[in-house]
Amino acid sequence: MARSDIIKAGLDKAPSRSLLRATGLKDDDFEKPFIGIANSWNDIVPGHIHLNKFAEAVRAGIEEAGGIAFTFGVPAVCDGIAMGHKGMRYSLVSRETIADCCEIMVQAHSLDGWVGITNCDKITPGMLMAAGRIDIPSIMITGGPMEAGEFDEGKADLQTVFEALGQYNAGNLDAESVSRVECAACPGEGSCSGLFTANTMACLTEAMGMSLSGCGTMLATDPRKIELAKATGRRIVELVREGITARKIVKEASIRNAIRVDMAIGGSTNTTLHIPAIAREFGIEIDIDLFDEISRSIPHITNLRPGGPYHMSDLDDAGGVPAVMNRLLSLLEDAPTVNGISIKEIAAKAIVKNDEVLRPLTRPHHNEGGIAVLRGNLAPEGAVVKQSAVSESMLRFKGKAKVFDSEDEAMKAILGGEVSKGMAVVIRYEGPKGAPGMPEMLSPTSLIAGMGLAESVALITDGRFSGATRGGSIGHVCPEAYDLGPIAALRDDDIICIDIPARRLDVELSDEEIARRLRDLRPIDKAPRGLLKKYRRLVQSASKGAYLD
């Protein structure tokens, strides 16, 4: 019995069949698998403006394979557009909303399987969370990276624009040059062209076996993407007929493999939020310490933006995610994939086409992986840094704290010239509960970098950073200030000590002094309303993936 028979089989289902006939279905169609297409297309997010053509190609593949396709919409937030204002409070929140939207549509209409057409930062993890939660046959197709912009005989991307503002503020760039960068950096459709969160999650989706091979790095404008979309449509019908559900694909080994690829490519720190939340929906519990454990054993072998010179197109030309896994073959665990062959079979067949873009394990850019988890008296439950994007001089740092209770306060101080070499800028009350919504903060980090301070100023927050962030930026400090974690006790001129190789984040205060300061402290309440108020009541710590419970 097909799952969809509950809405289409038997005389008593005449009412629902009557409604389905209004959509154009004929008698023969009721014998076919019903496949949903969760399409996050809209015309405000560059990573999604082209997804309708992929939806049509997926539909064509479903119909070729003998299925019936039904498309429904899913929201998508552009983090770059939402950055730096209250809209950013809704970005991480949208992850759960997206998962809920997919669950609602798939479950309410008893679909036999579904395809998630996704691309940007929260949409991909949200759809993966839904796949694990619903546990029917499902495949993701990510929309692909944007091409890098051309600027002054070099490459440019969104990070270039943000950092240009810092250069302007430092007096090293004029307004006309900023405008030229603005107009060149984002040439068209696709997710931002560096290894920021969207493209990191696309790569990890492929690594955990939930998209067809090559999908994670194939550019949005690549003609091959249409055929990949058709193949995705054909394959979902096969998965339905074979009874292969999402939880039969994603195992604990799949999650560990995704983290291994993450460490090898130097992915976004936001994966420490998304992977635990995704794993939980698949019935797998992982701790952020797993990221650090794997990071110590997996070298960083490709140096993409924001920390390096290469873009996603370079990684794709070098062989993409299969080539990365080929480098890691001896370190991978075998696991199923939606391709119908195992992850190690895919890795073994892959070819590395550029030994410099994708170096061998014996000649890495860094001996450890991209992410480090720090602990100490300032972060007893952990904090996260993208160590592959930190210069050698910032791996160990000691400086006086400059404390702000919001991103807005910090931005005004940075633009006002109040931040100087040797400072440890602290931005608190921007965590999952405190903000609420744990906004990304690319503006302050990019301003600091653009002003030439990336190698002399640290930035510490209970919020999070964009995947485009580089330098000594430490986020996800837990417990957060709203929960009266030690970060709430900090004052200007306290001495902050960072030791990334030793995995330490400390303040030169005794436990007794921290406790004394916290004893009579009342957390700042930004009095959220609506969705954000509900989110605060349900959201868990960033160290647990900021999932809702």
For the chain, list residues with pLDDT below 70: none
Distance CA 47, CA 319 (A): 22
Instruction: Return the ∠ at Cα 228 (arms to 223 and 231), rounded to 5°.
Output: 140
Q: Is 137 left (phi over 0), alpha (psi -120 to 50) or beta?
A: beta
Distance CA 23, CA 240 (A): 22
Total count of residues recorded for the chain: 549
Measured from the Cβ of residue 392, the count of other Cβ atoms closer than 10 Å reads: 7
Token pair 């009266």 is found at 484
Our measurement of the distance from residue 267's CA atom to the centroid of its chain's CA atoms, rounded to an integer in Å, reads 9
SS3 234: helix
Count Cα neighbours of 9 within 13 Å in the Cβ-side half-sphere.
11
> How is residue 381 written in tokens?
């439950």
Asked if 273 contacts 129 with a C-beta cutoff of 8 angstroms, the reply is no
Q: Which of 40, 213, 254, 466 is catalytic?
A: 466
SS3 193: coil
Task: Give me the helices (H) in 29-90, please.
Answer: 51-64, 79-82
179-181-183-187 Cα dihedral, nearest 10 degrees: -170
Task: Give me the helices (H) in 451-544, please.
Answer: 511-519, 530-538
**Threshold 0.75, pTM exceeds:** yes
Count Cα neighbours of 378 within 13 Å in the Cβ-side half-sphere.
31
* 3-state helix vs strand vs coil in the chain, percent to 5: 45, 15, 40
How many contiguous H segments (helices) and E segments (strands) does the chain have? 21, 14
Distance CA 24, CA 14 (A): 15
SS3 396: strand
Does the annotation count 443 as an active-site position?
no
> What backbone torsions phi and psi does residue 114 show, to the nearest 5 degrees?
-155, 155
232 closest CA partner among 74, 115, 69, 68: 115
* H or E element, residue 497: strand 495-499
Residue 450: predicted pLDDT: 85
